[in-house]
Structure 1
């Protein structure tokens, strides 16, 4: 009987934990879309065209190639933390990461159809969050260490 009582208690505790961390149904598709477009820990600069094609990343609800797409080299959990203790509120539903992330910025080659050049960088990221879940990549800021001069303006 003691084992059964312990098992029931454990099951209730786990269920409560899942409910607290449960993702709202209306956020799920936006979160998955965000992950597909922007989170890939194994990304590198040579994979831009291939990954963008495989993931069917396009401009809005069209089949047009995006001009630029940024991939965050991190886990889902690391990026999600930006919406809580790993980020600073920037107004509305935007949060900026407190720590920089490695990113790969894929930029479409001029005159080319869905062919991209990639560049690796280190940046703080700004994401839109809905109830603790990242749902939109807003922008990023070039990360400069103290004493280092730099700006993200016109930088690719």
Structure 2
């Protein structure tokens, strides 16, 4: 038991530089899973929720986290930790790619529930910010005159 704890401590210490990336990825996977379960039950009732679909979480989590760890190992041992002046760039890019896929999945689940796409909402938000900036600039120019 003591040996197992020592090995676990070694792995934990070694992967400390990317623990944030791993935790963010786990958070997105759990969010997508929760929304997927909610959407399935909301649209098809409790009968539509099947446990064998939940096994995909294990496969997806293992694949995502393994590729992030592999990218970290390439960053650390082949590239020396820096690429274009950014530490652990490959691990960060890999994480961003998987997060994009999870956001897309969240968006699809949300649209199944009748909501607007995240991207449409984001564009509308940016347009409102631009309009607000324009209004503020007009107010500032009016005060100067």
TM-score normalised by length of structure 2: 0.30
Q: Which has the higher helix share?
A: 2
Where relative contact order (Cα < 8 A, 6+ residues apart) is larger, the structure is 2
TM-score normalised by length of structure 1: 0.29
